[in-house]
Amino acid sequence: MPDMTNDPLQPFEAKMTKTISVLDEDFNTIRAGRANPKILDQIMVDYYGSPTPINQVANVQVPEARMIVITPWDTKMLRDLERAIQMSDIGINPQNDGKCIRLAFPVLTEERRRDLTKEVAQLGEDAKVAIRNIRREALDKFRRQLKDKAMPEDDFYSLEADLQKLTDKFTGKVDAAVAAKDKELMEF
């Protein structure tokens, strides 16, 4: 018998892996107490008429734990960079010194930390729902194959058990990612 346990589950495992990647990207945009250049990934700046990510028009550095320095390759871009950062929702006011822009990350208040942990928990729950939806999609596909007699009953129950193990593995990864982000947020 061919290896039935890996082939049918592979596309669903790939979707679950993608869900974890999206969760990690979402977590990177949440501002913890320390400077993370990924927080700028969603911000676009107008560069000669086209929206462009900041890291494609400037050098982004983290010289210390709570500071990001953005040095544009073209100093004419300073005002546009400053405006784009102010219009974003990162909640940090840029400091323009004529050569570069500094973003100083203040220490988070206890209340703000609690709000962010709630946001992290919600993102984690959304990821778990997405994983469960992938499981349901797979089960529906396997049930149709069973009904159409394209799959033996034993194979269906074996796949169902393997799919549940896969789902448990990925929901565990979500829980671990949420716990790690919560720990990062609660550090002083």
Tens of pLDDT along the chain (188 residues)? 344 445 689 999 999 999 999 999 888 777 666 777 887 888 888 888 888 888 888 999 988 888 899 999 888 888 888 888 888 877 788 898 888 999 888 777 888 888 889 999 999 999 999 999 999 999 999 999 989 988 888 989 999 999 999 999 999 999 999 999 888 887 75
| Residue pointed to by tokens 């988070």 | 108
The reported pLDDT for the residue numbered 15 is: 95
Please provide residue 115's backbone torsions phi and psi, each rounded to the nearest 5 degrees.
-60, -40
The reported pLDDT for the residue numbered 5 is: 46
The reported pLDDT for the residue numbered 3 is: 45
Contact 103, 68 (CB under 8 A): yes
C-alpha–C-alpha distance, residues 165 and 35, integer Å = 37
Q: For 120-138, b where at least 16 C-beta lie within 10 A, e where not — what string? A: beebbeebbebbeebbeeb
Q: Residue 99, by phi and psi: left (phi above 0), alpha (psi -120 to 50) or beta?
A: alpha
pTM of structure = 0.70
Q: Going from the N-terminus, what domains does the chain have, and what CATH number goes with each?
A: 10-28+109-186 (1.10.132.20), 37-104 (3.30.1360.40)
Six-digit token pair at 139?
């089960």
Six-digit token pair at 99?
């050569």
What DSSP character marks residue 73? Answer: S
Which three-class secondary structure string do you get for 118-155? HHHHHHHHHHHHHHHHHHHHHHHHHHHHHHCCCCCHHH
The reported pLDDT for the residue numbered 32 is: 67
The reported pLDDT for the residue numbered 33 is: 66
Q: What is the chain's length?
A: 188
